[in-house]
Amino acid sequence: MSTAVITRKPVMPEKHYLNDNYGIRSWLLTKDHKRIAVLYLVSISFFFLIGGFYASMIRLQLLTPTAELFQPDTYNKLFTMHGVNMVFFFLIPSIPATIGNFLIPLMVGAKDLAFPKINLLSWYLYMAGGCFSLAALFSGGVDTGWTFYTPLSSGFVHTPVVILVFGVLLAGFSSIFTGLNFIVTVHRMRAPGLTWGRLPLFVWSNYAAALIMILGTPVVAITLSLMILERGFHIGIFDPKLGGDPVLFQHMFWFYSHPAVYIMILPGMGVISELVPCFSRKRVFGYTFVAFSSIAIAVFGFVVWAHHMFVAGISLYSALVFSLLSFAVAIPSAVKIFNWTATMYKGSVSLETPMLYALAFMGLFTIGGLTGLFLASLGLDVHIHDTYFVVAHFHYVMVGGMVTAYMGGLHFWWPKITGRMYPEGAAKLSALIVFIGFNLTFFPQFILGYLGMPRRYAAYPPEFQVFNVLSSAGASILAVGFILPAIYFLWSLKYGEVAGDNPWKATGLEWTTTSPPPTHNFHETPVVTTGPYHYGVDEEVPVVH
Amino acid sequence: MSTSQSTTTEHHPALVHQFDDMAQQREASTFGMWVFLLTEIMMFGAMFAAYLIYRIMYYPAFVAGSTSISVAWGFTNTLVLLGSSFTMAMAVWSAQKGIRKQQMVWLVLTMILGSVFLGVKAKEYYDKYDECHIPGHFIGKGFNAWGGCEVNNPKLGNIAEEIQARARNAQAKGYKDVVVPSDVAAEQTARQAEIFFSFYFALTGLHAFHMCIGLGLLTWLLIRAAHGQFGPQYYTPMELGGLYWHFVDIVWIFLFPLLYLISRHSGAH
């Protein structure tokens, strides 16, 4: 029956971006977006490891109610460094700088991003920022919390705040450059026939994230610079002792840092929008709505920041407006979830690893999103603000949503990036482990928070221990789920099955070139004649006798 | 060899590999520059917003602080920068025409004017140092509400007295509800001017930093212009350098009234 299909085993292309030239210089001075994506992939994996190490220390500490492992001061440093590393050095660059960097030129049919040198500069800035964050660790670690609230950060603590914040600033500029490159590339470098309405949804969502990167990041850059100035020269912009306003710092900080969570989640949603149609063999349901919901999330995202400050003494009336607007973000988010579900309806769904991650995303992100509505309600927020409920909420969005999408995307495009398949069995197993470990880690935290356990405490009353032990146990399972892929991905580089150009029979320009692609992506500029996701349209079952 | 007209333009030496032709390269670069300027607007905009919020919060102190900086020097610098924008525009124009000598002359003039601006700024900073208006207590002798930094001229930079004088002035004009603050109250209000000076230095400092980057860019453009790289076919770098320079100029056009001019001549209220 399938003899004709398997007679031609896929072979690796002779020349591709990985073997175009060799040597450390060819990597460190590369201007190829695909190589820069690989550089980013290696470096963010490293920082994910560091951030994961901090996380496991936190979970170890919280196994017992009395702070037995670390002094409270050390614990403060652990959760600060965990937050800073994960937010600025993993989550924000994760999908855009790796998968996005690799795919956006391929998806729009271009030879490279618009500004390859700036793309490389962005990686160097990121690495420099990362080095500063490590320097802050080795000079004792910072204990302000990742939010760097003033006047604590600008006056009271005696830890290397300036070093760490400088690292964050550099990472911020690297993010600005990535966003700038994406926007110009999408506007100016689309292949002939690739209209906006034919762009893959992954491009749309990265475009929306890029908008936030370029509009939000400069604000946090100037905010943190003023904070450093204040710490260095005691100038009093945010210090109430000198007439400054610490709440203004929070406004300016969250003006970026709230939209920043959409920098993290939007590209993840873009990945899911690619996975669901492919593994349902169906056109995506409501393409226009999914595309514009990304833009809507980016726009709404800029006007909800003060929901982080409901108990910081802002006026009740502005709090009401911010609460209402925060609820509004649920609309475009729900549009996406419903449309993915509708895409699967009556599709021929197959459960390969990327799809497992996509399904996990849809469930976990929904829980994360709905609990966000609890927090956006003024009255309820007073009760659960700064408790483990908040911690659980954003880990459901960030880990359950974003990291899950990242893992799904990595599995999906791994054959395109490396030319080889990962082992499906091990991958499915680890997807399952991640799902179980994740829920065991973070679901108990919802209950803990609702019962009143505050976040950022090194010790807690003994009645909370049961849930904390559950959570710590879950974290160790989750760790296994992340270590396994690291092992089999590395294994697959040498022993993985050769993938062929399009192992998933997916649509999209990136699948029309070889795996791995040649340095200039396409042997000739592709011409686009159809809309995206034409699954099931020209997809006849091959007639083989 | 039969090379068509289009392939000769495609092989322009400045065409980089990721673009199909010079037109696409030019459009992408220009668009990229505008996007970059948008990020700059957000960066300056955040600080402008913070400045305006404090200005409303601490109005009398900010007016007194405003009065202590020199409008004459600020105005001079405004003219200097406007002039440099003109010379920059001329440099772009001569690049489009491909006249090598002219490009260099206009670029050098722009750089001279830029340096004059920075020189005047340095003089203004030094005056603030002299008057003990540097916020914080790490540079100079610390902020002093009553002036008195200078032994020869103890009245120099007296913010507290300025606040009292404005209140008296307003009373004289018939604003009956204005109270002349006591020495203690005037000194407290004057301390708020420290925040004014924090913003003054942060805003003009960030602007001056951009001017320095601009001078670096102009040097790079000067070298390229000297090699005769710009002509009617290719002048994008010059055009983008011009965009950047004009942007920095426009930032000053906002800074000058916000820091030096507004409410300067109104009474306290």
Taking CB atoms and an 8 Å cutoff, what residues of chain A touch B139? 233
Compute the distance between CA of residue B143 and CA of residue B158 in angstroms, rounded to an integer.
11
User: In terms of CA atoms, which chain B residue is nearest residue A187?
Assistant: B28
B151 closest CA partner among B160, B159, B161, B141? B141
Q: Checking phi first, is residue B206 left (phi over 0); if not, alpha (psi -120 to 50) or beta?
A: alpha
Tell me, what amino acid is at A289?
F
User: Could A215 and B38 be called an inter-chain contact, meaning their C-beta atoms sit closer than 8 Å?
Assistant: yes
Three-state secondary structure call for residue A252 = helix
Query: Does A236 touch chain B if contact means CB atoms closer than 8 Å?
Result: yes
Tell me, what amino acid is at A182?
F
Three-state secondary structure call for residue A57 = helix
Taking CB atoms and an 8 Å cutoff, what residues of chain B touch A235? 135-136, 194-195, 198, 202
Query: Does A318 touch chain B if contact means CB atoms closer than 8 Å?
Result: no
Return the pLDDT at B147.
73
Q: Count A/B contacts: CB-CB distance under 8 Å.
A: 109
User: Could A218 and B39 be called an inter-chain contact, meaning their C-beta atoms sit closer than 8 Å?
Assistant: yes
Q: Name the residue with tokens 């722009």.
A: B110
User: Could A236 and B195 be called an inter-chain contact, meaning their C-beta atoms sit closer than 8 Å?
Assistant: yes
Taking CB atoms and an 8 Å cutoff, what residues of chain B touch A188? 24, 27-28, 31
Q: What is the separation, in whole angstroms, between the first and last Cα of chain B?
A: 82
User: Could B199 and A188 be called an inter-chain contact, meaning their C-beta atoms sit closer than 8 Å?
Assistant: no
Compute the distance between CA of residue A469 and CA of residue A59 in angstroms, rounded to an integer.
9
Query: Does A116 touch chain B if contact means CB atoms closer than 8 Å?
Result: yes
User: Could B50 and A176 be called an inter-chain contact, meaning their C-beta atoms sit closer than 8 Å?
Assistant: no
User: What burial letters (b/e) apply to B184-219, b meaning 16+ CB within 10 Å?
Assistant: eebbbbbbbbbbbbbbbbbbbebbbebbeebbebbe
Q: Which of A:21-50 have CB within 8 Å of B?
A: none
User: What burial letters (b/e) apply to A205-216, b meaning 16+ CB within 10 Å?
Assistant: bbbbbbbbbbbb
Token pair listed for B97: 């025409």
User: In terms of CA atoms, which chain B residue is nearest residue A181?
Assistant: B32
CA distances from A189 to A106, A117, A294, A410, B172 (A): 11, 16, 21, 25, 67
User: What burial letters (b/e) apply to A237-275, b meaning 16+ CB within 10 Å?
Assistant: bbbeebbbbbbbbbbbbbbbbbbbbbbbbbbbbbbbbbb
Q: Distance from B138 to chain A by nearest Cα, in Å?
A: 6
pLDDT tens, position by position, for chain A (545 residues)?
444 455 578 888 989 999 988 999 999 999 999 999 999 999 999 999 999 999 999 999 999 999 889 999 999 999 999 999 999 999 999 999 999 999 999 999 999 999 999 999 999 999 999 999 999 999 999 999 999 999 999 988 999 999 999 999 999 999 999 999 999 999 999 999 999 999 999 999 999 999 999 999 999 999 999 999 999 888 889 988 888 999 999 999 999 999 999 999 999 999 999 999 999 999 999 999 999 999 999 999 999 999 999 999 899 999 999 999 999 999 999 999 999 999 999 999 999 999 999 999 999 999 999 999 999 999 999 999 999 999 999 999 999 999 999 999 999 999 999 999 999 999 999 999 999 999 999 999 999 999 999 999 999 999 999 999 999 999 999 999 999 999 999 999 999 999 999 999 999 999 999 999 999 999 988 999 988 998 876 555 554 44
Q: Are A101 and A41 in contact (CB under 8 A)?
A: no
Spell out where A223-282 has E strands.
none
User: In terms of CA atoms, which chain B residue is nearest residue A111?
Assistant: B18
User: In terms of CA atoms, which chain A residue is nearest residue B191?
Assistant: A242
Residue B80, pLDDT > 60, answer yes
CA distances from A518 to A33, A166, A414, A418, A524 (A): 12, 37, 16, 12, 11
Return the pLDDT at B153.
67
Residue B155, pLDDT > 90, answer no
Compute the distance between CA of residue B269 and CA of residue B266 in angstroms, rounded to an integer.
9
User: Could A112 and B39 be called an inter-chain contact, meaning their C-beta atoms sit closer than 8 Å?
Assistant: no
3-state secondary structure A267-315: HHHHHHHHHHHHHHCCCCCCHHHHHHHHHHHHHHHCCCHHHHCCCCCCC
Taking CB atoms and an 8 Å cutoff, what residues of chain A touch B141? none
User: Could A114 and B20 be called an inter-chain contact, meaning their C-beta atoms sit closer than 8 Å?
Assistant: no
User: In terms of CA atoms, which chain B residue is nearest residue A253?
Assistant: B46
User: What burial letters (b/e) apply to A22-38, b meaning 16+ CB within 10 Å?
Assistant: eeeeeeeebbbbbbbbb
With a CB cutoff of 8 Å and minimum separation 6, the contacts of B138 are A232, A233, A234
pTM (two decimals): 0.93
Q: Distance from B102 to chain A by nearest Cα, in Å?
A: 30
Query: Does B138 touch chain A if contact means CB atoms closer than 8 Å?
Result: yes
Over residues B24-43, the pLDDT tens digits come to 999 999 999 999 999 999 99
Return the pLDDT at B5.
38
B163 phi, psi to nearest 5 deg: -65, -45
Q: Which of A110, A217, A252 sits opposite B50 (nearest CB)?
A: A252
Position with higher pLDDT, A135 vs B1: A135
Query: Does B15 touch chain A if contact means CB atoms closer than 8 Å?
Result: no
Compute the distance between CA of residue A377 and CA of residue A381 in angstroms, rounded to an integer.
6
Return the pLDDT at B161.
84
Report the sign of the C-alpha dihedral through residues A316, A322, A328, A329, in that order.
Answer: negative
Token pair listed for A299: 């726009």
Confidence of residue B1 (pLDDT cuts 50, 70, 90): very low
Token pair listed for A295: 């833009």
Biggest distance spanned by C-alpha atoms of chain A: 85
Report the sign of the C-alpha dihedral through residues A451, A454, A460, A466, in that order.
Answer: positive
Q: How many CA atoms within 13 Å lie on the side-chain side of A363?
A: 10
User: Could B28 and A188 be called an inter-chain contact, meaning their C-beta atoms sit closer than 8 Å?
Assistant: yes
User: Could B32 and A110 be called an inter-chain contact, meaning their C-beta atoms sit closer than 8 Å?
Assistant: no
Query: Does B22 touch chain A if contact means CB atoms closer than 8 Å?
Result: no
Q: How many CB atoms lie within 10 A of CB B127?
A: 16
Query: Does A217 touch chain B if contact means CB atoms closer than 8 Å?
Result: yes
Q: Are A260 and A202 in contact (CB under 8 A)?
A: no
Taking CB atoms and an 8 Å cutoff, what residues of chain A touch B50? 226, 237, 248, 252
Residue B182, pLDDT > 60, answer yes
Residue B169, pLDDT > 60, answer yes
User: Could A242 and B194 be called an inter-chain contact, meaning their C-beta atoms sit closer than 8 Å?
Assistant: yes
Q: Which of B28, B46, B137 sits opposite A184 (nearest CB)?
A: B28
Query: Does A525 touch chain B if contact means CB atoms closer than 8 Å?
Result: yes
ipTM summary value:
0.92
User: In terms of CA atoms, which chain B residue is nearest residue A32?
Assistant: B18
Residue B150, pLDDT > 70, answer no
Taking CB atoms and an 8 Å cutoff, what residues of chain B touch A116? 16, 18
Three-state secondary structure call for residue A448 = helix
Q: Which of A217, A229, A243 sits opposite B192 (nearest CB)?
A: A243
Query: Does B39 touch chain A if contact means CB atoms closer than 8 Å?
Result: yes
Best A180, A222, A522 member to test B by mutation, with max B CBs in 10 Å, is A222
Q: Which of B28, B35, B136 sits opposite A189 (nearest CB)?
A: B28
3-state secondary structure B98-128: CCHHHHHHHHHHHHHHHHHHHHHHHHHHHHH
Three-state secondary structure call for residue A347 = coil
Query: Does A224 touch chain B if contact means CB atoms closer than 8 Å?
Result: no
Residues paired with A420 in a beta bridge: A498
3-state secondary structure B28-60: HHHHHHHHHHHHHHHHHHHHHHHHHHHHHHCHH
Q: How many CB atoms lie within 10 A of CB B57?
A: 15
For helices A404-418 and A465-495, the axis angle rounded to 10 degrees is 10
Return the pLDDT at A419.
95
Q: How many CB atoms lie within 10 A of CB A455?
A: 17
Residues paired with A498 in a beta bridge: A420
Compute the distance between CA of residue B118 and CA of residue B216 in angstroms, rounded to an integer.
14
